[in-house]
Structure 1
């Protein structure tokens, strides 16, 4: 998914607007976006909304909190497409969630040093679809001052762990400057270049920019089309495009770009 948009669990009037934003996933947040005293009310609001609607993910509180099992009662309801697990730190915790939601996908949030250390094990749990970088909490856990290049070594580790676990590319963390379109575009483009497949959003206005940044450009699509055509004409033998050798790895990349475009049009 290129874009995953958070919406507070105690603001049901925003649920439909979030779904109409163009985001490829909407995450109804029962964790950080909801004050402790409002969590019971938020769960009731979400359960009522789900009685007649569907098509959202739910972020639940960490497995070791008192709110987790109460959250899971709502997250297990029909209409929930998957669960985002806050502060994932062990495969055993994620297995508990996966077992509780009967085959629906799980998205662990990697938000701590321990979570990143065990990211490959967490990603290997049956039912995990992709890992998400909870960059803000990760910064706090490690005392990192900055969300740009300061986090790149950890982003790279998460991309590698996802690949080794056989997962889809991970999802990058939020950009908190809601009105800084250029900053968001730059951050999303950089994350894509590092191997991320999408990015978390905290406002609907961020969605279109993120979708564009993580989608293939026309230049890339034109290149990919020519590579695939050249590969077909050569019957799989190595060939050249624009003076560069085209081997099997290049062909796979070109086909992935074209497939990404088809998924975006679906």
Structure 2
């Protein structure tokens, strides 16, 4: 399967919601031990997850950051078989990633870039052993840099995550959340903006956001039809120059077409 498009958060202290999240259509479920759980409830939340984890349907576990008293125990807990990957909040250095992996084993790491320090070190973080994907914690990033606008004000920083991911040969990064739960148009617009920037997915805070995000990061029917025409014409030409829809098909165009086809989900999936 290609990299997840929609990544849905579930509070770790509401483990009964994990099953519903798995059935929501989200490509990935993130069980959140960090922001979603109150300080006094973190230990109980972690202990309560043991029975809810399923090795056949692994989740991503967002642990508490390295600068917190819960990091060591969270990171060791993440070694369990029902955890498929670990999300590291406020990743600020490659050493943060190494500290996590020394405790959780060889689990893939999703590094949350949500501070100025994290962005300044984004290339080192992206190439750190074990990092599978970068994630933009846009809300915390705005707070850290005192940026009020979540569109123009963040464009340069979003572009840096996309570039760093490509240079490190990672999957395209995941964009941050949209706080409006019931505004499908806003969710769709934010997801489409992220896609246009080169992101490959988006964080979701409610199941109602999932379908809009999946749609934004999936090839449209007309795109797939174009891609099929390109590939079929190229194959029929046996590598010779060919034109489709009045335009020459060169190597980048063919690669784009193949990429679109590979991103299409099988029949019957979201």
TM-score between both structures, scaled by the size of structure 1: 0.95
Match of 1:37 in 2: 40
Unmatched tracts of structure 2, length 5 or more: none
Instruction: Please point out which of 67, 72, 75 is paired with 1:69.
Output: 72
Within the alignment, does 1:106 sit opposite 2:105 as a pair? no
Per the TM alignment, residue 51 of structure 1 is displaced from its structure 2 partner at its CA by: 6.9
Q: What CA deviation, in whole Å up to 9, does each residue of 1:66-99 have, x standing for no partner?
A: 1101111221111110100000010111122234
1:110-259 matches, within 5 Å, as 110-259=113-262
The 2-side partners of 1:229 and 1:53 are apart by: 38
Q: C-alpha separation between the residues in 2 aligned to 1:56 and 1:209?
A: 21
Residue from 4, 9, 12 that aligns with 1:6? 9
Number of residue pairs matched by the alignment = 266
**Would you say 1:59 and 2:62 are equivalent positions?**
yes
The answer to whether the 8 A contact 1:121-1:165 is kept is: no
Q: Which residue of 2 aligns with 1:92?
A: 95
| SS of alignment partner, residue 81 of structure 2 | coil
Q: Write out per-residue CA displacement over residues 207-236 of structure 1, whole angstroms, 9 at most, x where no aligned residue.
A: 111011100000100010011111112222
C-alpha distance 241-2 of structure 1, shift in aligned 2 (>3 A): same
Which consecutive unaligned segments of at least 5 residues does structure 1 have? none
Q: Are residues 51 and 170 of structure 1, via their aligned partners in 2, closer, same or farther at CA, if it must alter by over 3 Å?
A: closer
8 Å contact kept, 1:168–1:197: yes
* C-alpha displacement of 1:265: 6.3
Q: Could you say if the C-alpha distance between residues 226 and 17 of structure 1 is closer, same or farther in structure 2, counting changes exceeding 3 Å?
A: same
Q: What SS class does the counterpart of residue 133 from structure 2 fall into? A: coil
Q: Which moved more, 1:116-125 or 1:85-94?
A: 116-125
Q: Distance in 2 between matches of 1:238 and 1:22?
A: 41
Name the stretch that deviates more: 97-106 or 9-18.
97-106
Contact 1:104–1:127 at 8 Å: present in 2 too?
A: yes
- The 1-side partners of 2:152 and 2:114 are apart by 17
Richer in helix (by share): 1
TM-score (norm 2): 0.94
* Contact 1:62–1:85 (CA under 8 A) maintained in structure 2: yes
The secondary structure found in structure 1 opposite 2:66 is coil
Counterparts of 1:219 and 1:39 in 2: how far apart (Å)? Answer: 47
